[in-house]
Amino acid sequence: MKVRIRFAAEEDIPTLLRFIHALSVYQHMEDEVTVTPELLRKWLFQHHMAEALLAETGGRAVGFAVFFHTFSAFPGLPGIYLQDLYVDPDSRGTGCGRALMAALAQLAEARGCAHIEWACLDWNAPSIGFYRSLGAKPMTEWTNYHLSGESLRALSAVSKMETASKANHSDA
């Protein structure tokens, strides 16, 4: 099966939303999805905070990857963080996921990136097996952290107070 990989465009927003919803169902995280067409338009296509690739077979989109650039201080080089990767169930095992990852690897090399990183749910054995088949290795000594919602707002409020307090002291 021939797989075509291309960058998503603004007219692909409905397709991206379909994949995002399907991924949330697969990961049992439907309650966390708040994305709208307007948010995708703003952050992907106006502010370019992230990029998306689409995998197509027979002219039909069957998978996607959403990624953005990072920077690693130790090597002093950029990297790519793969935020989301999804392939429709009926297209898994056909090379679509591998084609998406290969396209990311090609982008990483072309852009001078030192690495591609991502997280995978511990229970997702099929994806873990797929990633290992690509030569990826888990970072077993690292733990991912996530700060959002009320915790993010609370920390932000503390930072604002400390910043204001420091600014007031430096004026004296």
Token pair 């095992």: residue: 93
Q: Which CATH class is domain 4-145?
A: alpha beta
Coil, strand or helix: which one is 85? strand
The Cα–Cα gap between 170 and 92 comes to 59
Does residue 171 surpass a pLDDT of 90? no
Please tell me the predicted confidence (pLDDT) of residue 143. 87
Question: Of the given ranges (48-52, 87-91, 140-144), which has the lowest mean pLDDT?
Answer: 140-144
pTM (predicted TM-score): 0.87
Arithmetic mean of pLDDT over the chain: 92
Extract the tokens encoding 134: 């690509």
The Cα–Cα gap between 64 and 20 comes to 9
Pairing of strands 116-118, 77-87: parallel
Please tell me the predicted confidence (pLDDT) of residue 159. 60
Tell me the domain boundaries of the chain. 4-145
Give the Cα-Cα-Cα angle 98, 99, 105 (nearest 5 degrees): 90
> How many helices (H) and strands (E) in the chain?
5, 5
Give me the percent of the chain exceeding a pLDDT of 90. 84
